[in-house]
Structure 1
């Protein structure tokens, strides 16, 4: 039985007008987010991960243009909402944890009041009730001596503690959807693991659906139920965690998986995908990944591939899946990492559908 869809993106496009021209940052992104699941958006910097999620509640700069067939939440199209409606939805229904809490938190406002503010605004609590609830949330996310630290400022917290403040702020109003934009990038691996476990616990406790943005496939294996791989503003592969890790079909996904360092693999150089992502001021003809893809076919230089169906839950946009294409097997280096991926996937909380 399939879970209920809580959010649906349909053919989303985002463009930015700049002095150099128009940047086609997001090009026809579509996906469903299901109740209680964690969907990971993965890909290199500039692939459109953050922009596509910020478009959901329209927290993009003024030079952006958002279009498409709809962003559907609770049966309504968010693209048609006015600013007043979106202000009510932000934080209350759809919350966001940003990559750098130091720039996201207000430096001249105490962290406690920043957590209490949405409770006053959206939950209509008085200041006393909001403070009590904010302290409870600070305790819940692992901030010691929360009552004492309520009155402190962001610069008095470490990077990991600031991220915990951001998480407390995000879950304050029990949102239905959490968007976590690379929340562990600036943290060391020990703190990173703690934050991941905290997010998994809160996701389960509050029955939230989470969109987790990252470029770290090791983190993805530990947290994601489904994965959307993005490249050059588009989703190029989409499937369950098991499908993406153990049956990847797009050469770009192969590259991302081979780039995951595994300490068990001795005497092996770290892999990097050759070349650089394309300039989205001028989207190249054909498949944008073809110039970095040693398996590229002649048609990749002429026509962008459609999404080919691998299974009912697994799709990939590569001409290698066309029935006329030569058979190409994934590089053996991916199989060398399967035990590492398997361990991480088994250790995560899996959403049952």
Structure 2
């Protein structure tokens, strides 16, 4: 497959009064044309910082220490602000987590959806509003023509997220970044938004980077998955490989913490401990203090990536030829059946009814 985006050895620090926080520590991944790549991990693992660096939307105290972000033979990190503005919202667009922070409460939604077209000089005001109407219909806003002059507060949460998606796709971007776009929505609307993203990907031929802390969300939408922990990618592979044959203990923990229809306990599993302080990252595997399978070497040296298949790699010393054989937790061994349940959940909820029937 053809790579449309290639991130290599990205390192990003944040300057604070306490010192340099090493938020992103040598992250590399790529995105293929037409695919959905999910980046998953706990809050604070570096997911959002990584994708915001692609958009050039880092905070003022962020410092890119090393790396490349290659898009169409250009390193986005080396672009000046004017050239980057030509790409942002045009060729690469982003959907944010909370639609109310993305929408201007004082501006009609028609003007907000049309604005990216006007900023990038792609249409006249009249043509831009017509395109806004088309895109709003595309994302499932009924009677869009008569709602162009409505304000954000006149729409429900699910409808507002659809409007934000419309703003992101109005220019037919080649890459769409979705930063936890369903976190604030109930489970039925969440499933419908995920189904909408899948449909839009086929219709506008875009590639998607999907950010989430919930592995269950990616079951029905992703082609490949990258698992992040403490500013590093610790495992990546196809969605089937991550669900059926995970290799990193952190991935095991995320899967164990994921509820399914078969969850019969009143208490959900939680990974013990907390992520490390990235002011002073540990010398070895950052997950070692929380890893019940940790060995002495985990505290001494950071593990390299070990190859599982041509598409599946994991950074854990458990894959070293000299490591003891460790059997994954029983819950992980049963994951295949639960994965099929998750897929069924997504399909059933998405098809249950149109989003407007629930709002």
Q: Report Cα offsets for 1:284-329 as digits up to 9, x if no partner.
A: 2211100000000001111111111111111100010111110101
Tell me whether 1:227 sits opposite 2:225 in the alignment.
yes
In structure 1, C-alpha distance between the alignment counterparts of 2:152 and 2:266, rounded to whole Å: 42
Q: Report Cα offsets for 1:200-253 as digits up to 9, x if no partner.
A: 000111111100000111111111100000000000001001111111000000
Q: Tell me the residue number matched to 1:321.
A: 319
Tell me whether 1:6 sits opposite 2:4 in the alignment.
yes
In structure 1, C-alpha distance between the alignment counterparts of 2:120 and 2:148, rounded to whole Å: 20
In structure 1, C-alpha distance between the alignment counterparts of 2:255 and 2:343, rounded to whole Å: 14
Q: Match for 1:273 among 271, 274, 289?
A: 271
Q: Tell me the residue number matched to 2:138.
A: 140
> Superposed, which structure 2 residues align to 1:149-168 within 5 Å?
149-168=147-166
Q: Tell me the residue number matched to 2:74.
A: 76
CA contact (8 A) 1:222 1:347 kept: no
Q: Report Cα offsets for 1:30-75 as digits up to 9, x if no partner.
A: 0110010000000000000000000012101111111333110001
Give, in angstroms, the shift of residue 110 of structure 1.
1.6
Q: Tell me the residue number matched to 1:240.
A: 238
Give, in angstroms, the shift of residue 128 of structure 1.
0.6
CA contact (8 A) 1:278 1:288 kept: yes
Q: Tell me the residue number matched to 1:111.
A: 109
Q: Report Cα offsets for 1:120-165 as digits up to 9, x if no partner.
A: 2225211111111101111111112212221122222221111001
Q: Tell me the residue number matched to 2:281.
A: 283
- Secondary structure at the aligned position of 1:211 is classed as strand
Tell me whether 1:21 sits opposite 2:42 in the alignment.
no
In structure 2, C-alpha distance between the alignment counterparts of 1:240 and 1:197, rounded to whole Å: 19
- TM-score, reference length from structure 2: 0.94
Q: Match for 2:32 among 13, 31, 34?
A: 34
In structure 1, C-alpha distance between the alignment counterparts of 2:155 and 2:20, rounded to whole Å: 40
Give, in angstroms, the shift of residue 267 of structure 1.
4.2
Comparing 173-182 with 284-293, greater Cα deviation is found at: 284-293
Q: Tell me the residue number matched to 1:101.
A: 99
- TM-score, reference length from structure 1: 0.95
Give, in angstroms, the shift of residue 336 of structure 1.
2.7
Q: Tell me the residue number matched to 1:187.
A: 185
Q: Give aligned pairs, total.
A: 347
In structure 2, C-alpha distance between the alignment counterparts of 1:268 and 1:331, rounded to whole Å: 19
CA contact (8 A) 2:95 2:179 kept: yes
CA contact (8 A) 2:191 2:346 kept: no
CA contact (8 A) 1:226 1:241 kept: yes
| Root-mean-square deviation over aligned CA pairs | 1.5
Which runs of 5 or more residues in structure 1 are unaligned?
A: none
In structure 1, C-alpha distance between the alignment counterparts of 2:267 and 2:330, rounded to whole Å: 14
Q: Tell me the residue number matched to 1:306.
A: 304
> Superposed, which structure 2 residues align to 1:176-215 within 5 Å?
176-215=174-213
Runs of 4 or more above 3 Å deviation: 343-349
Residues 67 and 56 from structure 1, CA distance in 2 versus in 1: closer, same or farther, beyond 3 angstroms? Answer: farther
In structure 2, C-alpha distance between the alignment counterparts of 1:86 and 1:67, rounded to whole Å: 19
In structure 2, C-alpha distance between the alignment counterparts of 1:174 and 1:265, rounded to whole Å: 40
